[in-house]
Structure 1
């Protein structure tokens, strides 16, 4: 079995020449972006962090390790677990680009999801 090909990117970036499924993983639609310009294959908002966790985190780099731990716990149950299973299924058949509006990709939920989908679960 081959390792899934999963990358992360900003939803605002030009999708020209993209050879992967483009999946938005934010719960909220990106400000100022039209659906046509986004050129998404799917919007999987169910996999996003809960509103409470998202607000607590606020993309503060000092909170990222704790955010990752809490988010991974959220992904273990309910609607989010089902959405993560769906992304796993997509990634098993196609290269995948997980998109977010976040400016800092390395500390975004997309980075956490990419690690989980490729088997790089961070130490808790």
Structure 2
């Protein structure tokens, strides 16, 4: 499968292809020499407002369905970047989307939603 997802701290081999960090913030205290990604696209992460709304910071958390819907809306502004990743996959490259080490529930993580958006942007 040319689009993969995993946590940035998980062991990766050369089959990971282009490793794209899609977190809003760079992992704290990690020296540059220990980075596990090739490129960081913070704009592919949920906005701080959406993140806070989902985790209920200061208010009742939004539902998972509302989170997904709002994330997809936010990513409309990133169509060019999503299309460029889809083009890489179309050329046969593997793209691995990396997220926080704290993000252990793949079905809730935006990296899974993003993988779906990249897949949808691929040429038939």
Task: State how 1:1-124 maps to structure 2 within 5 Å.
Answer: 5-58=2-55, 63-77=63-77, 80-93=78-91, 94-101=93-100, 102-119=103-120
RMSD: 2.5
Query: How far is 1:43 from its partner?
Result: 0.5
SS at match of 2:5: strand
Distance in 2, matches of 1:54 and 1:29, equals 15
**Closer, same or farther in 2 for the Cα pair 1:118/1:98, shift >3 Å?**
same
Count of residues in correspondence between the two structures: 114
TM-score by structure 2 length? 0.77
Contact residue 45 and residue 110 of structure 2 kept, 8 A: yes
**Closer, same or farther in 2 for the Cα pair 1:83/1:37, shift >3 Å?**
same
**Closer, same or farther in 2 for the Cα pair 1:34/1:63, shift >3 Å?**
farther
Gaps of 5+ in 2: none
Distance in 2, matches of 1:110 and 1:92, equals 19
TM-score by structure 1 length? 0.77
**Closer, same or farther in 2 for the Cα pair 1:13/1:90, shift >3 Å?**
same
Distance in 2, matches of 1:62 and 1:55, equals 9
